[in-house]
Amino acid sequence: MIKTRSIIFLLILISFNITGQTNLEYYFGDNISFNSKVSKPSDILDFEIGEKHVSHDQLVKYMHIIAEQSDRVKIERYGWTYEHRPLMLLTISSPDNLTDIDKIREDHLKLSDPAYSGDINIANMPSVIWLGYSVHGNEPSGLNASLLVAYYLAAAESNELNSILNNTVILLDPSINPDGYSRFEQWVNQYMSDVSISDPNNVEHNEAWPRGRTNHYWFDLNRDWLPLQHPESQARIKQFHKWKPNILTDHHEMGSNSTFFFQPGIPSRTNPNTPTENFSLTNKIAAYHADALDKIGSLYFSKEQFDDFYYGKGSSYPDVNGSIGILFEQASSRGLSQQTVNGILDFPFTIRNQLTVSLSTIKSGYELKNELLKYQADFYRQASKLARNEPVKAYVLDGGDDLTKTNRFLDILLRHQINTYRLAEGLFYDDHNYSTTSSYIVPLEQEQFRLIKAIFEKSTSFTDSLFYDVSAWTFPLAFDIKHSAIEGKSFKNDMLGDKLIEIPELTGKVSAKSSYAYLMKLDDYNSYKALYMILKNNLKVKVALKAFSTGEGMEHNPGTILIPVRSQSKTEDEVYDILKKISTKSNIDFSNVSTGFNQAGIDLGSPNMVNLEKPKVMMLVGNGVSSYEAGEVWHLLDNRFGIPLSMVDIDRFNRINLSRYNTIIMVNGNYSRISGSSREKLEKWIKDGGNIIGTKGGSKWLIDQKLANIKLKKTSRDTASIKNYGDMYQHIGAQNIGGSIFEATLDLSHPLCFGYPDKYISLFKNNKLFFEKSNNPYNNPVLYSEDPLQSGYISKENYELVKNTSGLIVSSIGRGETICFSDNPNFRAFWYGTNRLFLNAIFLGDIISSSSTR
Ligand SMILES: [Zn+2]
């Protein structure tokens, strides 16, 4: 009996000891009183914050409970992730402000409108502060701190907090990337031990591929603020513009051996479209973080790392929208505690730092309120003056016949609140006829002046040669959309036609029922969606290798798809019904033809009409493979085109039969795990007619294994001269190609280039793989130009290497082929222009060798 009692006593002691380390006093100190009507996190979770990693569901539950209990908090679900987890935003302010929150929001928005902002008395306005946590799912301290931030704001009782809440509106996004976080949280919690294992090698601290940083399709959501290709970003940006906050925080983690970082970042690497006052305000706010972190004894640094050049990140998008974006980086404990060069790093310690800078941000937003509000109004007031001093007055774009792709581009402009207009009249500019049916115009003189420049500009000169991310992202080049910058007096206001309120509605139709054949053009992005649906319905399909005309101006380029009626296993009516359904789902037109005898070019029964097979696609994944680039392919095929993709780990690949696939994809990565016998298996599979597509590192492996006949241009090393050790990082970094844009020309007669409207295309390059031109003169479908740099940074040495190289080479092996891209044609899901090359490789790859013998 005595024994049992002492064991129980001991257990109580142990549990007190655990909670004793991480109770609320640890986070908040002992002189704050809290409203007892609001639940503490531990009341709901049954553990203290920091004792384990909270799950997304637990987080959602807690936030809803305190929103119910506190009259300072409102909660809304603003979107869903791919895996159908809710995205939440808490609006936190004084109860009085919350009863009038719509009016406060509307008044706040007027600050960004020069037509109203001059008459506003900012002294009576609250500032708006947005706190955003853990966009990278495996950087958990921010998200776990968000419960404490919310609890503090909902429950703490002090005159200072009352005054803060009277003068600020705090928007709290506790979990920006719930799908990625959930992968991570599942991992660390399943390997959590009773005793803390701080060994960095422990499985708890080392997630499996593809890890939790990214979203469902393995995209970095902290690069998607500008491209907006994912539901998380699209929903968030809507809230951003609904509020236009004055400060936005972005809470991350970095390597475990670091300390803590807050912005400003490296001054010389700020994007020139960001006003200089932004930097000085960021610096003023930084003093608040420094003060707060000094008080709890945490080490930190600023200005030496990270930059605000690429606007697709959470800490820089606000900077081009009249707001101040702030990046925080906390050394990561990953699991519950980890040994580092600075001693044992505990999870609660990392959470406390994130909590501390959240509260110092709020304090700065309160004390610098008038300065921030004035900065925001000035930012938008300056826009029209800056636009008047700018040589470029408007950008005009012609989407041509690719209506789906054009719509995706317009969608981005509308989501960023960029005023876009139809052309009032046809315009001949830069040797191009911009027609009123397919062209749009974006004038620079509008509130989003800076953002328009950031989206459309081509830059080739920079103050720094190092970039944390890409150095160029010019959207019309990525979309391969014909465009011109209209300068000076060439621009007239009456060029602006109707303002675009929403993207144009698209419809597809079958012109009429046919008993002979149907034709489909390949010039729309969604043609591939339609093509896959046709093949999935087991209809026989041919593709034209040569042009033809069916008369009455019906010109058909190579790549036109033919669906004959009689040779199908389905009736005339069934074929018609299937195509009608497909046209509705894909918005693609089908035209009927009643004769195979064409007015010009090849006839429909020509040997230059070749059969297409349904792609059965597999992609290698797992350790060594770039999860980003694999995810881009998965998202492209699955989400955009409804094409099933088997993803097979390299270890399993070593054991399986390949006969169920006709296409294999190898994206960037290290494939040394492929066994020798698997390499032989792969070669036999290609010889038997397989089609293998490599990009970057995938291509490199195929070349090294002699499965692709490509000569690489070698980079030369400068070993002769003596240099300062202190400059090493700068010199080596300047030889990286972080991501720049280059012009290339297409061979429009090559199946891999079918469907392109003209021979010029832009390629995105972020690696140093350079293909010598193929010796076979017919085998250079995509060639880098003589002087190809369009936008971005590249060193002189690398620039010499990239000129006149081949971007894409096909190697025939037996009855099959390898198709090697030197670059990634699917970068971040917004390179719609080069997506087509990749889709052609999938659908048309296996006809190249057969057609070259024709
Ligand atoms: Zn991060």
Task: State pLDDT tens for residues 412-429.
Answer: 999 999 999 999 999 999
The two tokens of residue 107 are 């008044």
| Residue 224 C-alpha from the chain's centroid | 3
Helix (H, G, I), strand (E, B) or coil at 159: helix
For residues 636 and 838, the answer to whether their CB atoms sit within 8 Å is yes
Half-sphere exposure of 601 (CA within 13 A, CB side): 18
The two tokens of residue 803 are 């000129």
Angle at 832 between CA 831 and CA 836, to 5 degrees: 115
Query: Measured in angstroms, how far is the CA atom of residue 184 from the centroid of ligand 1?
Result: 13
Mean pLDDT of all residues in 717-740: 76
Q: How far apart are CA 613 and CA 161, in angstroms?
A: 67
Tell me what pLDDT residue 468 has: 74
Neighbours of 853 (CB within 10 A): 6
Query: Measured in angstroms, how far is the CA atom of residue 254 from the centroid of ligand 1?
Result: 7
Lowest mean pLDDT among 12-26, 123-137, 493-507, 549-563: 12-26
Mean pLDDT of all residues in 493-505: 97
Query: Measured in angstroms, how far is the CA atom of residue 329 from the centroid of ligand 1?
Result: 7
| Residue 478 C-alpha from the chain's centroid | 13
- To the nearest 5 percent, what fractions of the chain are helix, strand and coil? 40, 20, 40
DSSP state of 126: P
The two tokens of residue 568 are 């199908």
Query: Measured in angstroms, how far is the CA atom of residue 815 from the centroid of ligand 1?
Result: 46
Query: In the sheet that 663-666 helps form, which strands lie side by side, from edge to edge?
Result: 645-649, 617-621, 663-666, 691-695, 816-821, 806-813, 782-791, 740-746, 760-765
Query: Measured in angstroms, how far is the CA atom of residue 136 from the centroid of ligand 1?
Result: 5
Q: 526-548: per-residue pLDDT in tens?
A: 999 999 999 999 999 999 999 99
Neighbours of 222 (CB within 10 A): 26
Query: Measured in angstroms, how far is the CA atom of residue 218 from the centroid of ligand 1?
Result: 14
Look up residue 452 and give its amino acid.
I
Q: Where are the alpha helices (DSSP H) in 191-258?
A: 231-243
The two tokens of residue 560 are 């036109």
The two tokens of residue 211 are 């890890």
Half-sphere exposure of 422 (CA within 13 A, CB side): 15
Mean pLDDT of all residues in 7-19: 39
Asked if residue 109 has pLDDT above 90, the reply is: yes
% of residues, the chain, pLDDT over 70: 96
Q: 598-620: per-residue pLDDT in tens?
A: 999 999 999 999 999 999 999 99
Q: What's the pLDDT band for 699 if we cut at 50, 70, 90?
A: very high
The two tokens of residue 817 are 């082929």
Query: In the sheet that 561-564 helps form, which strands lie side by side, from edge to edge?
Result: 591-593, 517-520, 561-564, 542-544, 609-611
Q: Dihedrals φ, ψ of 91, to 5°?
A: -105, 120
- Beta bridge partner(s), residue 620: 648
Residue 381 contacts by C-beta under 8 Å, 6 or more apart in sequence? Answer: 114, 117, 118
Closest to 817 (Cα-Cα) out of 783, 784, 852: 852
For residues 548 and 622, the answer to whether their CB atoms sit within 8 Å is no
Mean pLDDT of all residues in 313-325: 97
Asked if residue 852 has pLDDT above 60, the reply is: no
DSSP state of 775: S
Burial classification of residue 17, based on how many CB atoms lie within 10 Å of its CB (0-12 exposed, 13-18 middle, 19 or more buried): exposed
Query: Measured in angstroms, how far is the CA atom of residue 214 from the centroid of ligand 1?
Result: 10
Query: Measured in angstroms, how far is the CA atom of residue 318 from the centroid of ligand 1?
Result: 17
Helix (H, G, I), strand (E, B) or coil at 179: helix
Query: Measured in angstroms, how far is the CA atom of residue 134 from the centroid of ligand 1?
Result: 7
In the predicted model, what is the mean pLDDT of the chain? Answer: 94
Mean pLDDT of all residues in 832-853: 87
Query: Measured in angstroms, how far is the CA atom of residue 147 from the centroid of ligand 1?
Result: 19
Torsion of CA 815, 822, 754, 791, to 10 degrees: 180
Query: Measured in angstroms, how far is the CA atom of residue 213 from the centroid of ligand 1?
Result: 8
Closest to 126 (Cα-Cα) out of 90, 96, 158: 96
Query: Measured in angstroms, how far is the CA atom of residue 703 from the centroid of ligand 1?
Result: 34
Asked if residue 2 has pLDDT above 60, the reply is: no
pTM of the model: 0.95
Query: Measured in angstroms, how far is the CA atom of residue 261 from the centroid of ligand 1?
Result: 12
The two tokens of residue 89 are 């935003």
Query: Measured in angstroms, how far is the CA atom of residue 139 from the centroid of ligand 1?
Result: 6
Residue 296 contacts by C-beta under 8 Å, 6 or more apart in sequence? Answer: 352, 353, 356
199: alpha, beta or left? (left if phi > 0; alpha if psi -120 to 50): beta
Closest to 290 (Cα-Cα) out of 264, 315, 325, 316: 264
Tell me what pLDDT residue 738 has: 85
Query: Measured in angstroms, how far is the CA atom of residue 316 from the centroid of ligand 1?
Result: 14
Q: 749-805: per-residue pLDDT in tens?
A: 999 999 999 999 999 999 999 999 999 988 999 999 999 999 999 999 999 999 999
Asked if residue 8 has pLDDT above 60, the reply is: no
Tell me what pLDDT residue 11 has: 41
CA-CA-CA-CA torsion sign (690, 691, 694, 700): positive
Query: Measured in angstroms, how far is the CA atom of residue 60 from the centroid of ligand 1?
Result: 22
Query: Measured in angstroms, how far is the CA atom of residue 62 from the centroid of ligand 1?
Result: 24
Asked if residue 515 has pLDDT above 70, the reply is: yes
Neighbours of 34 (CB within 10 A): 15
| Helices and strands per DSSP (H, E), number in the chain | 27, 35
Query: Measured in angstroms, how far is the CA atom of residue 331 from the centroid of ligand 1?
Result: 11
Query: Measured in angstroms, how far is the CA atom of residue 105 from the centroid of ligand 1?
Result: 30
Mean pLDDT of all residues in 343-367: 98
Q: What's the pLDDT band for 721 if we cut at 50, 70, 90?
A: confident
Asked if residue 76 has pLDDT above 60, the reply is: yes
Q: What's the pLDDT band for 356 if we cut at 50, 70, 90?
A: very high
Query: Measured in angstroms, how far is the CA atom of residue 573 from the centroid of ligand 1?
Result: 55
Query: Measured in angstroms, how far is the CA atom of residue 330 from the centroid of ligand 1?
Result: 9
Mean pLDDT of all residues in 715-744: 79
Tell me what pLDDT residue 557 has: 95
Q: How far apart are CA 631 and CA 104, in angstroms?
A: 41
% of residues, the chain, pLDDT over 90: 89
Burial classification of residue 428, based on how many CB atoms lie within 10 Å of its CB (0-12 exposed, 13-18 middle, 19 or more buried): exposed
CA distances from 631 to 60, 218, 509, 668 (A): 27, 5, 33, 11
Closest to 252 (Cα-Cα) out of 159, 142, 373: 142
Query: Measured in angstroms, how far is the CA atom of residue 821 from the centroid of ligand 1?
Result: 29
Q: Which helix (H) or strand (E) holds 487?
A: strand 482-487
Helix (H, G, I), strand (E, B) or coil at 105: helix
Query: Measured in angstroms, how far is the CA atom of residue 612 from the centroid of ligand 1?
Result: 44
Which residues are in the CB-under-5-Å shell of ion ligand 1? 136, 139, 252
